[in-house]
Amino acid sequence: MTHTTTTGGNPEALRAEVRAWLQQNVPPGWRAAQTGTGQDVFVRSQRDWFTKLVKAGYATPHWSAEWPGGGRSLAEQKVIYEEVARADAPRLILFFVALYHAACTVMEWGSEAQKRQHLPGILEGRVWCQGFSEPNAGSDLASVRTRAERRGDVYVINGQKTWSTLAQFADRCLLLVRTDGSGAPQAGLTYLLLDMKTKGVTVRPIAQITGDDEFSEIFFDDVEVPVSDRVGEEGQGWAVAQSTLASERGLTLVELTQRMRYSLPRIAAIMRERGVADDPALRRELGRLIPKVDAACALADRYLLKRIEGTEAAGDASIVKLAYARTLREFTLLGQRIAGLQGQYREDFIRGGGMETGNWPFDFMNSYNWSIAGGSDEIQRNIIAERLLGMPREPKNWVLA
Amino acid sequence: MSTAELIELRDSARQVLGEAGLAASESKTWPLVLELGWLLVAVPEELGGLGQGLAGACAFHEEFGRSLAAAPYLPAMLAIDAACAAGKADWVERFATRDFVTAPLADPALTLSDGKLGGTASAVPSADLAGHVLLCADDCVALVSLKQAGVERRERPTWDATRRLFDLRLSGVELDPGLVLARGEAARALARRLAAQRDFALAADAVGGAAALLDSTVEYLRTRRQFGRPLALFQALKHRCADLKAQVAGAEALLAETLSRAGDDLASPAAERAGQAAKLQACTVYARVAEEALQLHGGIGMTAEHLCHLYLKRALLNEHLGRGGNRYDLDLAEALLAVP
């Protein structure tokens, strides 16, 4: 391990260090290299990039100090994300669940044996996926139905998960299952660490409207998971899952809003290329988008500062996500209008190219990832109305009028 | 300047303006402004001020927007800043405590030839109470006496009842050399500085107004009952309020971020663009909140006794103050497109 902390915890000193490192190490021409390729090329390049980042210590700033690269403050982590966005470096999509969701969950809830078993493997490149959503449990996560039946020292799993990012390449899965269907929906959930090679696990990539297949369905047919692979107690799955979902702490949206801001000049360049830079209607739309993008950046930034100070309120995160999702939609819609008919001719897309690749119909369709996944815009609006504005919650019981 | 000090200042302003009541009159609020030294907020300490800078000023503008106070605080602050920039300590003291100097809230159309000023300046608040007006023309920033020959003043009743705006027509107005604040490049820089401050101030006014109006709209929905339940229970209404909340939060965050991005050099192109972005976003959001608030209030919002229309009219006017010609978006696009 070559990493040494040279900046003594000063975020701005770290910024210079990270910036210089990225200048030397971001694979040149990675966008072109990932355009029109299969998943195998994408996976290989993700592995290479992951290995470099781990070596430099920039993949694990949020891990505890005994780990290489770990022990960074949230302010320092923010700096790394900002610099990654600024350098237009590839996003570490294939390893994100491992580095954040899996690592943070195991660190917070795992036994010593589980930590020893799983954490070093993550640094060696083990891929994890998340098995939370189901066909009938999307935004309404508590209604998970995949069953786990205890038989001696194993759980026997039957059911189906879906929308699992890159599960087709995963070694392990963070699996939320139902062990008890009798009480409150949240109370009967249990959290398991599943080996994806276990007999009875079938993964089927989902063909998306963009032509990409970054999500998969996972089917469980009498899959046996050792009880020793359970995290937390039986019935504690909901609480463990909250840790998983909280693990990235707003950093992703700092990165993505800033990437959106850095992509504004790309829109301008395309307007010039297409000879529509003087179109007054497009100019007006562009001019209205600019402060919205700035506002989304400012919201993400201030949210993280609140996290650092510990002053965030319930519902603040929903505002950031909703603002980003809406602004991204507008961004990609404008891109499409600028591209015109030309944009409607199908072009190869970039795997892992982020949210503003310049293939506007692709980007537009891809933007639904942010307005649907991770709690849809509608869920965020409920949270904002109820938590921040103090409006009443939905009644629990309903009858059709 | 610490954040805590700024919050304390803002809270005291909120309390005083709250006690004065919503949309309190000019005759009630202006003496308070003078008495409490609020015009000294942004003045550097070496000139006898509180040294809170533009961020401090904007905290107050936000409170004026929130309370719809009618005092001509914004133009007075611009005039005082110009006096500070010119290093006129005695003027600062006079303008901040006794002599009201106004300034146009829209870009004026003035020309200076042979030392004589001509053209028009519109959207000049409370010009009947001011002794002088601060004007930027070509390569000159100067104070002009409103009693001077060639200065014609006309009140223009506005839909917004919380401001009193005047048009000034100037023909062959002789500049008093003793009242010139800057010439040449210094004047151009000062004019940019004043425009940036005006934009930030309008943004802050809009953010304060939008937040207050959304709060009172949500409060109304929580108490008003129809169909046997509070209106706030209807998801169709909750979601609209949530969208507005996200937009208001975005405008607030952008204002805070652009204020720090603008830094101390308010004449810089970066500060100019930061102010424009903040102004456009905040005023657009304010108008949107006001438009929705009236609809969400239903019939009561159409009555003159209700507060909705006061916010709506101030919001609509705010959108059109500033650079004029409805071109904030075009200017932001142009700045982006100009970078190769």
ipTM at complex level: 0.95
By DSSP bridging, strand A201-205 and strand B165-174 are unpaired
Instruction: Give mean pLDDT, residues A379-384.
Output: 97
Banded model confidence at residue B153, pLDDT cuts 50, 70, 90:
very high
Q: Which CATH number covers residue A225?
A: 2.40.110.10
User: Is the pLDDT confidence value at A3 over 50?
Assistant: no
- Residue A288 with chain B: CB contacts under 8 Å: 280, 284, 329
* Interfacial residues of B (vs A; Cβ cutoff 8 Å): 218, 221-222, 230, 232-233, 235, 238-239, 241-243, 245-247, 249-251, 253-254, 256-258, 277-278, 280-281, 284, 328-334, 336-337, 339
Question: B230 to chain A, minimum CA–CA distance in Å?
Answer: 9
Q: How many angstroms separate the CA of residue B303 from the nearest CA in chain A?
A: 25
Domain co-membership, A147 together with A87: no
User: Which of B222, B283, B337 to mutate to probe the A interface, most A CBs <10 Å?
Assistant: B337
pLDDT > 80? residue A401: no
Give the span between the Cα atoms of A288 and B253, in whole angstroms.
17
Q: Considering only CB atoms, which chain B residues are within 8 Å of A390?
A: 218, 222
A-interface mutation test, from B245, B259, B261, B283, most A Cβ less than 10 A away: B245
Asked if residue A255 and residue A233 are part of one domain, the reply reads: no
User: Rounded distance, CA A125 to CA A121, Å?
Assistant: 6
Q: Which residues of B touch A254 (CB under 8 A)?
A: none
Domains of chain B: which residue ranges? Answer: 3-100, 109-182, 186-338
Say how many residues make up chain B. Answer: 340
Which pLDDT belongs to residue B324? 78
Number of domains present in the structure of chain A: 3
Domain annotation covers residue A231: yes
Q: Based on the fold, state whether residues A299 and A383 are members of the same structural domain.
A: yes
Asked whether residue A339 is domain-assigned, the answer is yes
Distance from CA of A272 to the nearest CA of B (A): 8
Q: Kind and range of the H or E element at B154?
A: strand B151-156
pLDDT at A2 over 60: no
Which of A301, A389, A394 is facing B257, going by the closest CB pair?
A301
**Measured between alpha carbons, how far is A118 from A128 in angstroms, rounded to an integer?**
10
Q: Look at residue A6 and tell me if it is in a domain.
A: no
List the catalytic residue out of A214, A248, A312, A356: A248
The full length of chain A comes to: 401
Q: What is the pLDDT of residues A182-233, one digit of tens each?
A: 999 999 999 999 999 999 999 999 999 999 999 999 999 999 999 999 999 9
Q: A140 and A82, same structural domain?
A: no
Residue A106 lies in a domain: no
Residue B290 has pLDDT above 90, yes or no: yes
Q: How far is the CA of A217 from the CAs of A156, A197, A206, A213, in angstroms?
A: 19, 15, 7, 11
Residue of A289, A305, A384 to mutate for B, most B C-beta atoms under 10 A? A384
Confirm or reject CATH 1.10.8.590 for domain B109-182, answering yes or no: no
Report the gap between the CA of B332 and the closest CA in chain A (Å). Answer: 5
Verify that A137 and A224 share a domain, yes or no: yes
For residues A302 and A319, give the distance between their C-alpha atoms in angstroms, rounded to a whole number: 11
A153 and A44 belong to one structural domain: no
A373 and A259 within one domain = yes
The reply to whether A3 falls in a domain is no
Please answer yes or no on whether A391 and B218 come within 8 Å at the CB atom.
Answer: yes
pLDDT of residue A131: 97
Residues A270 and A377 in one domain: yes
User: How confident is residue B1, by pLDDT bands cut at 50, 70 and 90?
Assistant: low
pLDDT at A139: 77
Check whether residue A255 and residue A187 sit in a common domain.
no
Average pLDDT, chain A: 94
Residue A393 DSSP symbol:
P
Nearest CA in chain A to B246: A319
Residues A267 and A221 occupy one common structural domain: no
Give pLDDT tens digits for A106-157: 999 999 999 999 999 999 999 999 999 999 998 788 999 999 999 999 999 9
CATH 1.25.40.10 describes domain B186-338? no
Both A77 and A171 in a single domain? no
- pLDDT at residue number B236: 97
Domain B3-100 belongs to what topology?
Butyryl-Coa Dehydrogenase, subunit A; domain 1 (1.10.540)
Give the CA-trace dihedral at B123, B129, B131, B135, to 10 degrees. -10
Q: What is the pLDDT of residues B263-278, one digit of tens each?
A: 889 999 999 999 999 9
CATH number of the domain residue A299 falls in: 1.20.140.10
Shortest CB distance from A295 goes to which of B235, B241, B253? Answer: B253
What pLDDT sits at residue A1? Answer: 38
Q: In chain B, which residue's Cα lies nearest the Cα of A395?
A: B233
Model pLDDT for residues A387-397, shown as the tens digit of each residue: 999 999 988 88
- Residues A223-265 have pLDDT tens digits of 999 999 999 999 999 999 999 998 888 999 999 999 999 999 9
Residue A282 lies in a domain: yes
pLDDT for the residue B6: 82
Does residue A248 have an active-site annotation? yes
Confidence (pLDDT) at A8: 59
**A135 and A234 belong to one structural domain:** yes
**How many CB contacts within 8 angstroms connect chain A with chain B?**
126
Please give the residue range of the domain that contains residue A146. Answer: 128-239
